[in-house]
Structure 1
Amino acid sequence: MFAIALQQKKYKTYTLSDLAFNSSINVVPERGGIITSWCVKNQELLFLDAKIFENPELTVRGGIPILFPICGNLPNNKYKYNGNNYFLKQHGFAQDLPWEVIGNSNKDRASITLVLTSNRLTRTFYPFDFKLTFTYQLKGNSLEIFQTYTNLSNTQRMPFSTGLHPYFLAPNKHQLHFNIPSMQYMDRNTGTLHDNDCKFDPKLDEVDAIFEKLTGLATTVYDRSRGLKITLSYTSAYSTIVLWTVKNQDFYCLEPWTAPCNSLNTGYRIVDLEPGSSCEMLIRLTATFV
């Protein structure tokens, strides 16, 4: 049995549930369309800094923020288009704007569909007309995120990159083992390349590793302390995985990106939508207790 409930907390929160499986997600449309909680068998899988989340002036740390129209940052937060300079903060603006709910269903699964459309504010940072449509679907131990990106312009192409920034709860990061399908990664703190040995040192102040040239469409994490396996799978548009965590924080992030930092300037792996066209992408999260 699937259910959808709406509560007025600090923000309106939709809870989608699979009651037979004891799984659920919480979705907060007005706070960037973010998923703030994902439970499987009543076990919370996501980290959320509640104090930051409740302050609308701060960027959320936790849940599953949406990255658009860039992933990562730009040099001096600046890019150039048609001879004009524009400014975008790290990861873009989609995670900070209110999204609109346009539908939900509890037939065969629990789902909710959200939309973000360009407006006068977004065009000051990103001079394109767009519509983003995200559908979150929950069934059993899987969470699927269907995405449609539409260029509403009749005349100009629309370049962008996109991604997600899941914060996974991990009280004991010493017990994590990663299987990321890439031969090497770059340490973004030092700019150095390393062979991918599927390990990282949780005693470091920060781990910030970017994996490109992916050889598969799924990344797996084993959390031995919780007896938990999380599989992150994605369509081929996602070319990059970023692993990020900081010392003394009970989370790690595995971020699927379509392109690395600064692609809006370099054009590297950028999605470049033709006028009036759309493209679709899918990310699936699956949690198994073993």
Structure 2
Amino acid sequence: MTVRIQNDYLQAAISEKGAELTSLKANDIEYMWQADPTYWGRHAPILFPFVGRLKDDQYSYKGKSYPMSQHGFARDEMFEVAEQTDEKVVLTLKSNDKTKEIYPFDFLLSVSYEVWGEGLRVRFKVENTGNEEMLFALGGHPAFNVPLEESLSFEDYFFSFSPQKSRVKIPLDGPFANLDQKTIGQTNTNIRISRDLFQNDALIYETKGLNTFTIRAEDSPHSVTLAYNHIPYVGFWSPYPKEAPFVCIEPWWGFADPIDSTGKLEDKPGMNRLAPAEEFKTQFSITVR
């Protein structure tokens, strides 16, 4: 089932499967990628309780091994609509016998979408409903149409960054993070979008404080901006070498296994920890013009 919210400027659609944003329209323009499986059959999946790949698609916790596909299981689970108005919807996913077979923690994941002016707020809340410390990662994966207008091409667009400063870049070795080869990424200037930009998979940067990332073209008034405060990582991705007409801007609270991973969840870098009864809250916004 699809839930719809809107205001005078913006219309959004969210699927109960995965609590996934499937449409964001304004100016008679569809800003979200429409999940053509020829290129990538998703729109904006929620990544939980892992971000990225695990070595051998599994991990161990307290001596027991668990299978886990890339980006976790939340994107394929049915969420429940807990609250809905014309401009806001809250969807929830609770741990159950099925999830505990592959992730041994009790949790409640809430995802909120709310339209305001020219933007959409996406809020997350993770609650540890169990009796032991909980380890998790979390991420957004929204894919935006590029180009936004038929008269333009993929290569007409670029990323702009605010603040314009260098950020630590985490390179990938295959699907895994190579933490020993961190470099300084030149995000102190615009980066032209091209196919070759993604030939080594996603561009991943460490981020601190307030960050704003915009996809735009010099010859167009239309753009899309993703902004947040205090999210540790961001990924930029389009599936190389496919000539896919979209680009993702992905706020992450975690990342893929490093190349020297032990496979133990207790050792995995980038994970978040919650004591029993604690809550983790965070958010990002998408603004379109």
TM-score for the superposition, normalised by structure 1:
0.83
Determine whether 1:142 maps to 2:119. yes
Helix, strand or coil at the partner of 2:202: strand
Helix, strand or coil at the partner of 1:98: coil
The Cα RMSD (Å) is: 2.3
Paired AA for residue 41 in structure 1: N
Contact 1:206 1:244 in 2 (8 A): no
Contact 2:47 2:138 in 1 (8 A): yes
Percent identical residues: 25
1:188-227 mapped onto 2 (5 Å cutoff): 188=172, 193=183, 195-197=185-187, 198-199=190-191, 202-204=194-196, 206=199, 208-224=201-217, 226-227=220-221
Contact 1:132 1:147 in 2 (8 A): yes
Helix, strand or coil at the partner of 2:71: coil
Q: Give the C-alpha shift of residue 202 in structure 1.
A: 1.8
Q: Distance in 1 between matches of 2:110 and 2:31?
A: 25
Cα shift readout 1:40-73 (whole Å, capped 9, x = no counterpart): 22211111225589xxxxxx73321100000001
Cα shift readout 1:190-231 (whole Å, capped 9, x = no counterpart): 756463254256232735234333244223223215432322
Helix, strand or coil at the partner of 1:122: helix
Partner of 2:249: 254
Partner of 1:282: 283
Partner of 2:137: 161
Partner of 1:44: 30
Determine whether 1:174 maps to 2:155. yes
Q: Distance in 1 between matches of 2:195 and 2:270?
A: 33
Contact 1:207 1:243 in 2 (8 A): no
Determine whether 1:240 maps to 2:217. no
Q: Distance in 2 between matches of 1:50 and 1:213?
A: 30
Q: Structure 1: which 5+ residue stretches go unaligned?
A: 1-11, 54-59
Q: Give the C-alpha shift of residue 268 in structure 1.
A: 1.9
Determine whether 1:28 maps to 2:28. no
TM-score for the superposition, normalised by structure 2:
0.83
Contact 2:169 2:206 in 1 (8 A): no
Paired AA for residue 199 in structure 2: E
Paired AA for residue 29 in structure 2: Q
Partner of 2:262: none
Partner of 2:261: none
Paired AA for residue 163 in structure 1: G
Partner of 1:183: 167
Paired AA for residue 196 in structure 1: Q
Determine whether 1:152 maps to 2:138. no
Contact 2:209 2:229 in 1 (8 A): no
Sort the Cα spacing of 1:280 and 1:36 in 2 relative to 1 into closer, same or farther, 3 A: same
Partner of 1:119: 96
Contact 2:166 2:184 in 1 (8 A): no
Contact 2:57 2:69 in 1 (8 A): yes
Sort the Cα spacing of 1:148 and 1:201 in 2 relative to 1 into closer, same or farther, 3 A: closer
Contact 1:37 1:45 in 2 (8 A): yes
Q: Distance in 1 between matches of 2:63 and 2:93?
A: 27
Number of residue pairs matched by the alignment: 263
Sort the Cα spacing of 1:50 and 1:173 in 2 relative to 1 into closer, same or farther, 3 A: closer
